[in-house]
Structures are given as structure tokens and as C-alpha cells.
Amino acid sequence: MKKNKLGINTICTHVGAIEDRQFKGATSPIYLSSSYEFMDVDVKRYPRYFNTPNQEYLAKKIAALEHAEAALLFGSGMAAISSTLFAFLKAGDHVVVQNDIYGGTRNLIAKQFDKYNISYTFTNGLSVEDFQDAIQANTKLVYIETPSNPLLKLVDLAAIASLCKRESIISIIDNTFATPVVQNPVDFGIDIVVHSATKYFGGHSDLCAGAVAASQEHINKIWELAKDFGGSLSDFTVWMLERSLKTLGIRVKAQQRNAKKLAKFLNKHEAISKVYYPGLKSHPDYDLAKQQMRGYGAMLSFDIIEELNAKVFLKALQLIKPSMSLAGIESTMILPAEASHALLSKEERLEQGIGDNLIRFSVGIEDKNDLINDIETALSIIAEGKLVNTI
Ligand SMILES: *Cc1c(COP(=O)(O)O)cnc(C)c1O
């Protein structure tokens, strides 16, 4: 069978499963050995070499999902991201980085790169011209994230890929927000795809992992550094992640169906001044979303009108939980000004369009009417002023 001809749910369910030859069980056995035979074997296996049976086989599923040749699993999204970046960089190199990327990645670059004499430029905006302008003679990598956090802006995958090919620069995308259910950057010519598997891949808010998918050649290069950095994943978690990935397709599709409905509902609500969701016709990147995404993902953001207080609103919700993280089957909301972007000054935040009343909404699989009721009830409670003084 040709792997990439399989439908996404079949890849999720079957690719990379380890056959239980001994007992014929339905699921992959879990191999916990940290010590393997070294003589007369094809592969010298060791957990930190990223090649225990569970790691090796689950990597096949992730590669198939991302339409890539190979993949590696990591102990966290940041372990995948840091290992990938450092695998391709040396002193004197330069990196072009999208300006509004995940805070942890931004910190890694802004706090660590100087001491290795690796320079970087954060782009002014998200257009291909903004990336072009930031490229220098010593630029090695371009790093993007689309849809972006928290305003769900899009970067043109095909345009960035062809710019990078023209300039012989490696392109890397953080595909955590979209997932391969919604977007396959490799199909547009992007070289390397990284993931925080803590988010949609895990999907149940109960594990921390990372992944990278790319050509075999790029994965070999990342592996060379990764085994020295040592950020491999425990086989218990690999096994949990395999179980989680079986439902990635149906989870994300259900979540994005809900997200589209919730975005439309919020867009019409008088207490909401603005909704950021690439699936709304009013979104500036709506056409681009249609070109490069299948659906529009399950993350959205919105501004509550100035007269109301977003923190009080979050306290008034019963079903939807305030939460630091995202992408679980349960709906959660976060105030970027208080969490992901709390380290920026208010001016810096406002410059990026992140006001105090901006809420990022990770839409779950609950029944959409219950989510709508929860939001409507909370908004009416705070509009009546019943909760204002309790905070
Ligand atoms: C959470 C996240 C990361 C970091 O992943 P960890 O698993 O927390 O290390 C990277 N990128 C994005 C977009 C994320 O949401």
C-alpha cells in the first residue's frame, strides 16, 4: 500500500502500529527496555538515540501524517524546536523569524542565540516581502508559524517555500496550531515541520511531547545533534501519544466544525467587538486560508467590548475553563495579555494588536449549543454587572 494515498483517519489508526506477533493483541506493545543487544543487529537501539521500537514506529505515523519521509519524537515541543534549529546553525549564521511566533521559541532565539554568535531578524510583518527584506547573505533558516498566535494571521506557505528555495535557505514551520489534518506544509515545499505534540497530537491535556518531520536527509542531520542534546521522549508517553493520534483526524475535524460555528456566533454578538478566525470572510487572509488549509482550524480569538472586563467574563464561564495551554478536547480560553504575552509591556502588546480584552479560544468537542449557552450566560451576567465587584 502507498502510504500517502491513505486517508488521514486510516493513517491515524494504522500507520506505524507495532504488530503484536506474540499475543495478537489489537494495539502496539510497549517496549520499555533501555538496553538492547548490540551484536548481530541492524540497529543499535537506545532511548536517547530516538530509536526504541515505539519511538521508531510512531515516527512513521507522524511522517505519514505530514507527507514527509521521516520524523523524530521529542520530550517536548521546545526540545523538537531547539534541536532542529541548532542542528542547522553555527556561529556566524543568521535566521529570519516570523515576528509573532510562540513565546517559548521567541525566548529561545532572543535569549540564547547571541551567546552562540547566531544572529536573527524578526520580520516586520507576515507578507513574503517582509521575509524577503529580512534575508541576509548569511541567512540559513526561515522560521514561520501559521496560523499565528493569538491573532490567527496566515503566512503564504507556497510563497515562503519558493523564496527559500530561490535563496537556498531551509524553511521551518511550527504546524502545531493547524495540525496535518488542516494543513500539510510539505506539499507547498516547506522543508521541515515541527510540532508541540503536547497540543492537538496529544489532544487530552495529559502529555508533553514534540515532533519534527522532514526529508530523511534533514532528519538525519537533526538526529546527529538531537542525540547529543538528549531530549528524547519516554516510551510510556510515546505509547500514550500513539493512542492519542488514532483520533487526531476526528478530533480536529470536530473541533474545527465547532470553531467555525462559534466564530460566526461571536461575530454577531453585540458584546464582542472583533473576531479573529481565518474562516470568516471578513478575515484578511480568508482567501489564503482557502488555498492552503482544509478548513480553518479550531483556534480563534476575540475582543470583548471595552465596557466589559474579560477577566470577569472568564470567571463567569461555567463550562469553558481558563487554561494556559490549548488544543485539548475540552474548550479553554486564555487572556494572552495575562499569559503568553505577559512579559511584553502594554505598549508592545497593543502594537501587536493584543489588548487586555483579547481572549484566545481553543475550541473543544463539546456540543456547540452548550458552548454558546455558556458564553451567552457569562456575557449577560457581566453585562448586568452582577460579577464586576467580585473580582
Ligand atoms: C506549546 C507550543 C510550543 C511548545 O511546546 P511544548 O510542548 O510546550 O514544549 C511550540 N509551539 C507552539 C505553537 C505551541 O503552542
| pLDDT of res. 387 | 54
Is the per-residue pLDDT at 60 higher than 50? Answer: yes
Is position 31 annotated as part of the catalytic site? no
Is the per-residue pLDDT at 386 higher than 60? Answer: no
Q: What tens digit of pLDDT does each residue of 93-107 get?
A: 999 999 989 989 999
- When pLDDT is averaged across residues 45-63 and rounded to a whole number, the result is 98
Which of 102, 175, 324 is the pocket-test mutation for ligand 1 (most atoms within 8 Å of CB)?
102
Catalytic, out of 61, 106, 199, 349 = 199
* Secondary-structure breakdown of the chain: helix, strand, coil percentages, each rounded to the nearest 5: 40, 15, 45
Is the per-residue pLDDT at 3 higher than 60? Answer: no
3-state SS, residue 196: strand
User: Do 258 and 223 reside in the same domain of the chain?
Assistant: no
The one-letter amino acid at 219: I
User: Do 140 and 119 reside in the same domain of the chain?
Assistant: yes
- When pLDDT is averaged across residues 117-127 and rounded to a whole number, the result is 97
User: Do 215 and 106 reside in the same domain of the chain?
Assistant: yes
User: Whose C-alpha lies nearest to ligand 1, atom 4?
Assistant: 77
Q: What tens digit of pLDDT does each residue of 265-299 get?
A: 999 999 999 999 999 999 999 999 999 999 999 99
**271 C-alpha to ligand 1 centroid (Å):** 31
* Total of domains in the chain: 2
d(CA 252, CA 255): 5
**357 C-alpha to ligand 1 centroid (Å):** 23
Q: Do residues 186 and 215 touch, judged by C-beta distance below 8 A?
A: no
**96 C-alpha to ligand 1 centroid (Å):** 19
CATH code of 323's domain: 3.90.1150.10
User: Whose C-alpha lies nearest to ligand 1, atom 8?
Assistant: 77
Q: What tens digit of pLDDT does each residue of 226-271 get?
A: 999 999 999 999 999 999 999 999 999 999 999 999 999 999 999 9
For residue 197, the ligand 1 atom closest to its alpha carbon is: 7
Which protein residues are within 6 Å of ligand 1, measured from CB? 76-78, 102, 104-105, 145, 149, 174, 176-177, 196, 198-199, 208, 210
**Which residues span the domain enclosing 202?**
3-245
**35 C-alpha to ligand 1 centroid (Å):** 31
Is position 199 annotated as part of the catalytic site? yes
| pLDDT of res. 349 | 86
Element holding 384 (H helix, E strand): none
| pLDDT of res. 2 | 53
Q: What residues form DSSP beta bridges with 195?
A: 211
Identify whether 32 is part of a domain: yes
- When pLDDT is averaged across residues 20-25 and rounded to a whole number, the result is 96
User: Do 287 and 319 reside in the same domain of the chain?
Assistant: yes
Identify whether 390 is part of a domain: no
Is position 153 annotated as part of the catalytic site? no
| pLDDT of res. 4 | 53
Identify whether 241 is part of a domain: yes
Q: What tens digit of pLDDT does each residue of 131-168 get?
A: 999 999 999 999 999 999 999 999 999 999 999 999 99
Please choose, from the candidates 70, 67, 120, 71, the residue with its C-alpha nearest in 3D space to the C-alpha of residue 97.
120
**Lowest mean pLDDT: which of 2-6, 165-169, 192-196?**
2-6
d(CA 12, CA 8): 6
Peptide bond into 29 cis (omega under 30): no
For residue 149, the ligand 1 atom closest to its alpha carbon is: 13
Is position 46 annotated as part of the catalytic site? no
**60 C-alpha to ligand 1 centroid (Å):** 21
User: Do 78 and 177 reside in the same domain of the chain?
Assistant: yes
CATH code of 180's domain: 3.40.640.10
User: Whose C-alpha lies nearest to ligand 1, atom 6?
Assistant: 77
The one-letter amino acid at 326: L
- When pLDDT is averaged across residues 165-189 and rounded to a whole number, the result is 98
Catalytic, out of 3, 36, 46, 48 = 48
Is the per-residue pLDDT at 1 higher than 80? Answer: no
| pLDDT of res. 355 | 93
User: Whose C-alpha lies nearest to ligand 1, atom 7?
Assistant: 77
| pLDDT of res. 389 | 44
Long-range (24+ apart) CB contacts under 8 A made by 378-386 are 378/313, 378/316, 378/317, 378/318, 379/269, 379/271, 379/304, 379/308, 379/313, 379/316, 381/316, 382/308, 382/309, 382/312, 382/313, 382/316, 383/271, 383/308
Confidence of residue 390 (pLDDT cuts 50, 70, 90): very low
- Domain-ending residue, one of 245, 266, 292: 245
Is the per-residue pLDDT at 5 higher than 90? Answer: no
Work out the percent of the chain whose per-residue pLDDT is above 70.
Answer: 97
User: Do 226 and 338 reside in the same domain of the chain?
Assistant: no
For residue 80, the ligand 1 atom closest to its alpha carbon is: 9
- Domain-ending residue, one of 245, 280, 303: 245
More confident residue, 336 or 340: 336
* Reported pTM: 0.95
- Domain-ending residue, one of 199, 224, 245: 245
**146 C-alpha to ligand 1 centroid (Å):** 13
Work out the percent of the chain whose per-residue pLDDT is above 90.
Answer: 90
- Which residues of the chain form beta strands (DSSP E)? 70-74, 94-97, 119-122, 139-145, 170-174, 192-196, 210-214, 272-276, 299-304, 321-322, 332-334, 358-362
